[in-house]
Amino acid sequence: MAAKIENQIRRLRFEQGEMTQQALAEAVGVTRQTIIAVEKGKYSPSLEVAFRIARAFGVGLEEVFQFE
Amino acid sequence: MLEVIGSMSFREKSVWISTAIMVWLWSWYASAVIPGIADGSITRAETVGLFVGMTVAVVVMEVIAHIILAIFSPRDANSGEDERDRMINRRAESHSAWMLGGGIITICMFTMFQDLTAVSVVHLLLLLLIAVEIATGALEILYYRRGM
């Protein structure tokens, strides 16, 4: 089970003009299903994918992921 | 239901299909052929033929099922595996490796204390390999659904 890592992906997608999960997946280089799993907190991505997600939104890593 | 299927990667759907085909065909094989071997009504040559036939049937069914799956979800089929798929596969295989090791030791111990024929031992080992493959698939499905 995913650890205590929360994320703001849903909010950030909304703020990016309702960016689709597919568009984010393509920007990051993973499958849409992995974005779904990360967004739901069912999968903690690698550091590289976490940085790519943050870069896709144009924000820092800690604005996307928070360790509880 | 559609939401659940939509949340599955091509790799997860592939695992579901492969595991279901293996459970279906090999459980039939175990229930139909193993008793025949035990009571001697199936000869060694027939056993080999049935096993090869079952292996070919599993491969053919998997190929057909994956072609159909790719036709219905071409984008997912082309996206390939990502780090989550690989991590789930590695974790499932690392756990089922313990099952394989334990099973081999159990069969070795069983063989030492029982008067088993070579054909029976070969069948036990092959069934262990199939059981481990099914267990790997079941673990992957668990990790995909539960999260990790």
**Residue-wise pLDDT tens digits, B25-47:** 988 888 888 788 778 888 878 88
State how far the alpha carbon of B57 is from the alpha carbons of B4, B34, B52, B65, in Å: 29, 18, 9, 12
Per-residue pLDDT of chain B (148 residues; tens, 9 = 90+): 767 777 788 999 999 999 999 999 988 888 888 788 778 888 878 888 888 888 899 999 999 999 999 998 888 888 778 999 999 999 999 999 999 999 999 999 988 888 788 878 888 898 899 999 999 999 999 999 998 8
Cβ–Cβ gap A45/B84 under 8 Å: yes
- What contacts A21, CB < 8 A, 6 or more positions away? A13, A32, A35, A36, A39
Q: Do the Cβ atoms of A64 and A10 come closer than 8 Å?
A: no
**Structural domain for B134, as ranges:** 2-146
Specify the pLDDT at position A49: 97
pLDDT band for position A2 (50/70/90)?
very low
**Domains observed in chain A:** 5-67 (1.10.260.40)
Q: Structurally, how many domains does chain B consist of?
A: 1
| Closest-CA residue to A57 (of A19, A5, A7, A6) | A19
* Distance (Å, whole) CA A53 – CA A43: 14
Minimal-distance CA residue of chain B relative to A41: B147
B10 touching A (Cβ < 8 Å) = yes
Q: Do the Cβ atoms of A31 and B85 come closer than 8 Å?
A: yes
The pLDDT tens digits for B89-108 are 999 999 999 999 999 999 99
Pairing type for strands A5-7 and A65-67 reads antiparallel
Cβ–Cβ gap A1/B148 under 8 Å: yes
Specify the pLDDT at position B147: 86
A43 touching B (Cβ < 8 Å) = yes
Structure tokens at A44: 């903690």
> Nearest by CB to B8, which of A33, A40, A49?
A33
Structure tokens at A40: 């739901």
DSSP A58: T
Q: Which residues of chain A lie closer than 8 angstroms to B79, CB-CB?
A: 31-32
Q: Which residues of chain B lie closer than 8 angstroms to A33, CB-CB?
A: 7-9, 12, 76, 84
For every residue of B38-66, DSSP letters joined together read HHT-S-HHHHHHHHHHHHHHHHHHHHHHH
Percent of chain B with pLDDT over 90: 51
* Distance (Å, whole) CA A32 – CA A42: 14
Backbone angles phi, psi at A67, to 5 degrees: -95, 120
ipTM: 0.85
Work out the number of other CB atoms within 10 angstroms of the CB of residue B38.
11
